[in-house]
Amino acid sequence: MNKRQITYGLKALSRADSDLAAAIKTFGAPEPRVRPEGFETFLGTIVSQQISTAAATAIMGRVRALLPSCTPEGIDQVSDAALRGAGLSFRKIEYVRGLAQAEQTGALEVNALGALSDAAAIERITALRGFGIWSAEIYLMFSLGRKDIFPAGDLALQVALGRLKSLETKPTPSQARALTEHWSPWRSVGALFLWHYYQGAPVSE
């Protein structure tokens, strides 16, 4: 989503939710977050799991340098030992091999995901080992530009939503989805704002 879409979405959200309207007035608009579509983004998702951003960047750089091409075929040309040397765990190597195989067999078809509905795209992505619903939703939001996704399992979103709604505890994923249902069809913009709000909103004592 670009700045124009975010601005339009925030206006719609402000009309739909007074708490959100007040927070948007105080904290302003979030910056766009865009990630490219394609196989390399999926590979990067695996690399970055459960490690710091700095470590993920370093390992991804070594993996890119190792591969003859950042494609399933490029993965096939590199040994497990070489991937291990680049910094991937044995489990992540399994996920990378599974990703490459899914793309080659047509089980994934990264370039076709954009033509699918949100639900169908999420179902196809989560069929891959190593990809949960959060990873799928993030891909839809930031790579496919889908406007009505809310990654309710995200801890920061839960905390921010709890603060926004003055709840005593953070909502569960199902509660978060219910609390933001009326944000449709701009829930992606709402989520993007909540991450922004999470960084700047004061913690209630």
Written as one string, the DSSP assignment of 68-126 is: SSSSHHHHHTS-HHHHHHHT--HHHHHHHHHHHHHHHHTSS-GGGGGGS-HHHHHHHHH
Reported as a single tens digit per residue, the pLDDT across 104-150 is 999 999 999 999 999 999 999 999 999 999 999 999 999 999 999 99
By percentage, how much of the chain surpasses pLDDT 70? 98
Pair 189, 151: CB distance under 8 Å: no
Q: Which of 144, 149, 155 is nearest to 195 (CA)?
A: 155
CATH of 3-32+149-200, one of 3.40.50.20, 3.40.190.10, 1.10.1670.40, 3.40.50.800: 1.10.1670.40
Q: What is the dihedral of CA 163, 169, 175, 177, to 10 degrees?
A: 30
pLDDT (tens digit, 9 = 90+) per residue, 12-60?
Answer: 999 999 999 999 999 999 999 999 999 999 999 999 998 999 999 999 9
Cα-to-chain-centroid distance, residue 91:
21
Q: CA 45, CA 138: separation in Å to the nearest integer?
A: 10
Residue 88 is predicted with a pLDDT of 96
Tokens of 115: 């033509």
Query: Minimal CA–CA distance to 136: which of 119, 159, 155, 160?
Result: 119
| 39-142 and 3-32+149-200 share a CATH fold | no
From the list 136, 42, 56, 139, the residue with the least C-alpha distance to 96 is 42
Amino acid at residue number 63: V
Q: What's the fold here for domain 39-142?
A: Endonuclease III; domain 1 (1.10.340)
Q: Is the omega angle on the peptide bond into residue 185 within 30 degrees of 0, that is, cis?
A: yes
**Every domain of the chain and the residues it spans:** 3-32+149-200, 39-142
Confidence of residue 202 (pLDDT cuts 50, 70, 90): low
pTM greater than 0.75 (yes/no): yes
Distance CA 185, CA 130 (A): 29
Residue type, 111: N
Number of helices (H) and strands (E), helices first, in the chain?
12, 0
- Scored b (16 or more CB within 10 A) or e, 83-95 reads beebbbeeebbeb
Give the integer Cα–Cα distance in Å for 205 and 203. 6
